[in-house]
Chains A and B, each alone.
Chain A
Amino acid sequence: MTGEAPNTVVHEDIALKTDAKMTARDVSVFYGSNQAVKNISIDVDSNYVTAFIGPSGCGKSTFLRCFNRMNDTIDVARVTGDIDLDGEDIYKSSMDVVQLRARVGMVFQKPNPFPKSIYENIAYGPRIHGLSDNKTDLDKIVETSLRRAGLWEEVKDRLDEGGTALSGGQQQRLCIARAIAVDPEVILMDEPCSALDPIATAKIEELIDDLQGRYAIVIVTHNMQQAARVSQRTAFFHLGHLVEYGPTEEIFTNPRADRTRDYITGRFG
């Protein structure tokens, strides 16, 4: 394997267009002087689950965090290039980061419920964004979000218990419900199953299937089988470059770049 920059292979049927939900053009991320993400252009479509795959340290998580400007919270990180949400540049100075993060929700690698009750975990987002007028309204949002996350039946009788008392898989679904509660347009998932056992993982994958079409979903994963199972679009990253982007089926059955083939077949990674 060599480290020189390859040309990105983008499959014709998803060639870059301008009407996608989110578009990234020529995005680079620097940590100090180290460039972690190198000139990546990609589209995220509303109707599909997009998977970012690649070996550790390939920049996929860093790139994901550009879509809701979570890199802003890291002092040394610097982002260049354009990322648009519905044609609006999210890095322009008039963009309100608080609203952006409500519209582009995020689920993290490690389940991170707030040290509050299950109800409060879900209600917090709608409350700070003023999405409900009264208690009944808020109760409704909490129930809908938990139902969509497939958690309602398991927790409906103990909404006032601590969110941290749930099992790992339940906590992660609680976090997904929390993201759903503020009615986002895009949900970013950063390796949401890496801390979970296979049964909990299967439940999350089912959930992602259910949510597909309602929200644009981007999922970063280490697990290639998972990408194959849940996504319709796959992007393969290596050493900060986007190597190949295409329909999931094609990427896994008929990859066009050598590196993608080597990675898919387990030659490295």
Chain B
Amino acid sequence: MTDAAQTFDSARSRAPTAWQSDAMAKRTRARYRKERRFRFMGLAALVLAAGFLAFLLFTIISDGWRGFQRAEIAVDVTFAEAELLSDGSDLSRADYRSLLNRDAEEQFGTSRVISEGAWPQLRDRLAAEPELLGQTERIWVVASPFIDLLAKGQVDFDLPPERQLVDEEIISDYRALVAEDRVRIAFNSGFLSRADSTSSEQAGVWGALVGSVLTILVTLAISFPIGVMTAIYLEEYAPKNRITDIIEVSINNLAAVPSIIFGLLGLAVFLNFFGMPRSAPIVGGLTLALMTLPVIVIASRVSIQSVPPSIKDAAYGIGASRLQVVTHHVLPVALPGILTGTIIGISRALGETAPLLLIGMRAFVSDVPEGVTEPATVLPVQIFLWSDEVGRGFIEKTSAAIMVLLAVLLSMNAFAIYLRNKFERRW
């Protein structure tokens, strides 16, 4: 008789297992209790995480929604032809600033209630409706930062004067305006169409958004082809030896290098060695491409590895060349994964601040960049800069810019999911 058979026999000779005993019932109850506890802990973790996320979103949105609004003041502007054309220039270069200030002083006794940057509104209005020349028209112009705060209810009127945020005089100006029904809250179209400004009511994110897009395009154009080609070479062509092992470890390590170090590299190589323009999207894009490259290589390699070897065998088996196997069979199946990985890498680059500070993208840029070599800033750096500003009005701008950045990131992730579903195949 074999050992196994003996063991089996001795097991049979024991008393039958008492499945109905108290000890067994107790064990069953304890097991149920453990299951319940474990499930509860999982649920608690989920609720906690969701709570943090909700809190974050709530704080940002509750501050930020005011950034999309602005206070406007109604001024009756007289477009006096003689005055506008006094120095012989044309209407596009006339002195609208003094015109607006004079009208405001006449009507409110002061021009400090309107924004210093409000006068181009008159020029644009007149350009759109030339028949207004010589007429008087009520125009809603952007209010000054303090009126903006008052109109949005950001000021507690009951505070004693020495702790009050806004001067007594401005408060009385504001009360007078309200009495005449000359203040309103309107959609801040300038926030989405203008670049940075020193005064909060004139500052917009459009410049930073364009800068971000230009930078990301450079990053994508460099890192996607190089990353995917590297992954294909390593997976399909490179021999598996010590050298490729070292390369693989290096790529994995690069993906973990803090981003600020890539900024130093960009500073040393692109600015100091190649002499490229400071603060430009081309340099920012190249720097971020260095940072994104390892992420794309790793994601692409994982995706290529997951292509079933049976499909490659089938293709080789009917005489497909290596290039044909890669382009006809491996890439189509691996593409969803490659694209998802790329977009995750690009999203990370889009939210990156530190390396861009080092290559000068923190400069104050009040123009919307028109090319990759012009000075620009990007959304996260803009958020960083505004969060540093002393002006009260920049608080809501900071949160509003965060909302814009989050919206861009969310739409990129949605695009990644769309791509994955579109290209995903069954086999």
Question: Residues of A at under 8 Å CB distance from B?
Answer: 68, 70, 73, 75, 97-102, 105-108, 110, 112-115, 124-125, 128-129, 162, 164, 175, 178-179, 181-182
Contact A105 B310 (CB under 8 A): no
Contact B318 A105 (CB under 8 A): yes
Q: Which of B297-320 contact A (CB under 8 A)?
A: 308, 310-320
B427: Cβ under 8 A from any A Cβ: yes
Q: Tell me which of A101, A112, A114 contacts B319 (CB under 8 A).
A: A101
Q: Tell me which of A73, A113, A178 contacts B316 (CB under 8 A).
A: A73
Give the shortest distance, in Å, between A24 (CB) and chain B (any CB).
19
Contact A114 B239, CB 8 Å, known A124-B328, A128-B319, A182-B319: no
B425: Cβ under 8 A from any A Cβ: yes
CB neighbours of A106 from chain B (8 A): 317-318
Contact B311 A112 (CB under 8 A): yes
Distance between Cα atoms of A115 and B333 in the complex (Å)? 8
Please give 9 more A-B residue pairs, beta carbons under 8 A apart, in addition to A73-B316, A113-B427, A115-B311.
A75-B240, A97-B319, A98-B320, A101-B316, A105-B317, A114-B315, A128-B318, A128-B324, A182-B318
Q: Which residue of B lies closest to A101 (CB)?
A: B319
CB neighbours of A108 from chain B (8 A): 310, 313-314, 317
Contact A101 B333 (CB under 8 A): no
Distance between Cα atoms of A128 and B319 in the complex (Å)? 8
Contact A124 B425, CB 8 Å, known A70-B313, A112-B313, A114-B329: no
Contact B310 A114 (CB under 8 A): no
Q: Tell me which of A75, A110, A129, A178 contacts B310 (CB under 8 A).
A: A110
Instruction: Report which residue of A73, A113, A164 has the largest number of chain B beta carbons within 10 angstroms of its beta carbon.
Output: A73
Report 22 cross-chain contacts, Cβ distance below 8 Å, ordered by A residue: A70-B317, A97-B319, A98-B320, A99-B319, A101-B318, A102-B318, A106-B317, A108-B314, A108-B317, A110-B310, A112-B310, A112-B313, A114-B427, A115-B311, A115-B425, A115-B427, A124-B318, A125-B319, A129-B319, A175-B314, A178-B318, A181-B318
Contact B310 A125 (CB under 8 A): no
B321: Cβ under 8 A from any A Cβ: yes
Contact A114 B314 (CB under 8 A): yes
B93: Cβ under 8 A from any A Cβ: no
B14: Cβ under 8 A from any A Cβ: no
Give the shortest distance, in Å, between A115 (CB) and chain B (any CB).
4
CB neighbours of A99 from chain B (8 A): 319
Give the shortest distance, in Å, between B319 (CB) and chain A (any CB).
4
B426: Cβ under 8 A from any A Cβ: yes
Give the shortest distance, in Å, between B337 (CB) and chain A (any CB).
14
Q: Which residue of A lies closest to B241 (CB)?
A: A75
Contact B239 A75 (CB under 8 A): yes
Chain B contact residues: helix, strand, loop or mixed: helix
Distance between Cα atoms of A73 and B321 in the complex (Å)? 11
Distance between Cα atoms of A12 and B333 in the complex (Å)? 51
Distance between Cα atoms of A115 and B308 in the complex (Å)? 11
Q: Which of B315-357 contact A (CB under 8 A)?
A: 315-321, 324, 328-329, 332-333
Distance between Cα atoms of A68 and B319 in the complex (Å)? 9
Distance between Cα atoms of A105 and B426 in the complex (Å)? 25
Q: Which residue of B lies closest to A76 (CB)?
A: B240
CB neighbours of A68 from chain B (8 A): 317
CB neighbours of A175 from chain B (8 A): 314
Contact A101 B311 (CB under 8 A): no
CB neighbours of B313 from chain A (8 A): 70, 73, 108, 112
Contact B310 A128 (CB under 8 A): no
Contact B240 A125 (CB under 8 A): no
Q: Which residue of A lies closest to B318 (CB)?
A: A125
Give the shortest distance, in Å, between A110 (CB) and chain B (any CB).
6
Give the shortest distance, in Å, between B425 (CB) and chain A (any CB).
5
Q: Which residue of B lies closest to A69 (CB)?
A: B316
Distance between Cα atoms of A182 and B311 in the complex (Å)? 17
Distance between Cα atoms of A101 and B324 in the complex (Å)? 14
Contact mask for chain B residues 400-427; partner A; CB cutoff 8 A; 1 contact, 0 none: 0000000000000000000000000111
Q: Which residue of A lies closest to B314 (CB)?
A: A112
CB neighbours of B318 from chain A (8 A): 101-102, 105-106, 124-125, 128, 178-179, 181-182
CB neighbours of B426 from chain A (8 A): 115, 162, 164
Contact A98 B314 (CB under 8 A): no
Contact B310 A98 (CB under 8 A): no
Q: Which residue of B lies closest to A68 (CB)?
A: B317
CB neighbours of A107 from chain B (8 A): 317
CB neighbours of B316 from chain A (8 A): 70, 73, 101
Give the shortest distance, in Å, between B159 (CB) and chain A (any CB).
70
Q: Which residue of B lies closest to A129 (CB)?
A: B319
Distance between Cα atoms of A113 and B319 in the complex (Å)? 15
Distance between Cα atoms of A127 and B183 in the complex (Å)? 74
Distance between Cα atoms of A252 and B427 in the complex (Å)? 40
Give the shortest distance, in Å, between A190 (CB) and chain B (any CB).
10
Contact A128 B317 (CB under 8 A): no
Distance between Cα atoms of A129 and B321 in the complex (Å)? 10
